[in-house]
Structure 1
Amino acid sequence: MNIFNISEIADLGIEKEKKRRDFYGLTAERFSDKSMKELFTKLRDWEGAHIKKFTEIRGSIKDIREIEGYEGELNSYMRALLDDKLYNDVSPAKFSANVKTALDAISYGIGFEKDSIIFFNEIMNYTVDARKDVIKKLIEEEKQHIVYLVRLKEKISE
């Protein structure tokens, strides 16, 4: 049976937010088009605000040192969530270097935002009730980022 340290899980969430922020910042620099530069600068700033909120949440996580691991498929799911090679092995600079078009950047962004929603939903299970509303708000913000990006993708694809 695996043991999950909730503090480490929260720290990983903060690191993911930082990598998304850095990706958006680097991506903004890659575009000469003013509207694309503004879009990714705005996304970078949104992620920066999330880092602050998530850091506060981390400080309020229930005083649980370790959580027993899960059996079978659920264990595999939790492990995949935590050991995400997407974030561990690839830097924001490498992701940004792969961005050749606005559609590339938007597609990466949509994937990052989806990942964030999954992560926040899981961490909420181990957070004190007083902070759950903050996490729910973060999830709603991430959903709005997806809607924003999907609409932009549809507009560009026309």
Structure 2
Amino acid sequence: MVFNIFEVGLMQIWQKEVVEVLNSPIELAEIAMNIEKNGLAFYTALASKAQGEKVKEIFSFMAEEEKEHYTTFKKLKEKLIAYGVLEPLEEEYRDYVQELVDSNVFSKDIDAAEQAAGLSDPVEAINLALGFEKDSVIFFLQFRKAVPEDEKFVVEELIAEENHHINRLLVMRKAIIETPEEFYQSHVKIGDAER
């Protein structure tokens, strides 16, 4: 059965799942939204079960960032629709991006909160989060190529924020491993000042 781009887009919106074949930048925006939605659920669940205020604060901050990113990608999707950006992606590029989507757990409809609930070690949680963040950056780098020139800066800003997330997670993991007592006793605030 063959579908046109409009039908594929509607099916994806109605079924809330990633389609078999990516056809347009609008679909990439929807996948980016799903990545952020699942990231929000994951970090919210990690924050709720975190031991120590600093860990809870970091995961809560990351959840808020994912929420903001979701809104940004939603606005970008609306702009892409308004621009009428529906031309199909080149086959080789589409296949590559499809592989990225298939390998990124957060791009699928998963129970991110359930995944987080299964983690008992903070370093294990951080390692999983690092994997998700790195996969997201790789996907967003490719997504940027499909976005009109005057909107690329939006995706570039989000890539920079995801890189900040990676850095924050690396610093937290190092501190937990090297000086756990000191880390858990610290009450340093996380926010815009540390960006």
- Same fold by TM-score, threshold 0.5 exceeded? yes
Q: For this pair of structures, how many residues does the alignment match?
A: 155
Are 1:97 and 2:97 matched, yes or no? no
Give 1:70 deviation, angstroms: 2.1
- 58-67 or 148-157, which moves further after superposition? 58-67
Are 1:25 and 2:44 matched, yes or no? yes
Q: Letter of the aligned partner of 2:52 in structure 1?
A: D
Give 1:154 deviation, angstroms: 0.9
Equivalent of 2:57, from 31, 38, 46?
38
Are the equivalent residues in 2 in contact too, given 1:117–1:142 (CA < 8 A)? yes
Give 1:91 deviation, angstroms: 1.5
Are the equivalent residues in 2 in contact too, given 1:124–1:132 (CA < 8 A)? yes
Alpha-carbon separation, structure 2, partners of 1:97 and 1:136: 32
- Give the RMSD, CA atoms, in angstroms: 2.0
Are the equivalent residues in 1 in contact too, given 2:42–2:113 (CA < 8 A)? yes
Give 1:63 deviation, angstroms: 2.5
Q: Which 4+ runs in 1 deviate beyond 3 A?
A: none
TM-score w.r.t. length of structure 2:
0.72
**Where in structure 2 are the equivalents of 1:111-126 lying within 5 Å?**
111-126=131-146
Q: 1:3 to 1:111 in 2, by over 3 A?
A: closer
Equivalent of 1:81, from 72, 90, 100?
100
Question: Partner of 2:12 in structure 1?
Answer: none
State the structure with more CA Rg: 2
Equivalent of 1:60, from 68, 79, 101?
79
Question: Partner of 1:106 in structure 2?
Answer: 126
Alpha-carbon separation, structure 2, partners of 1:85 and 1:111: 9
Q: 1:149 to 1:85 in 2, by over 3 A?
A: closer
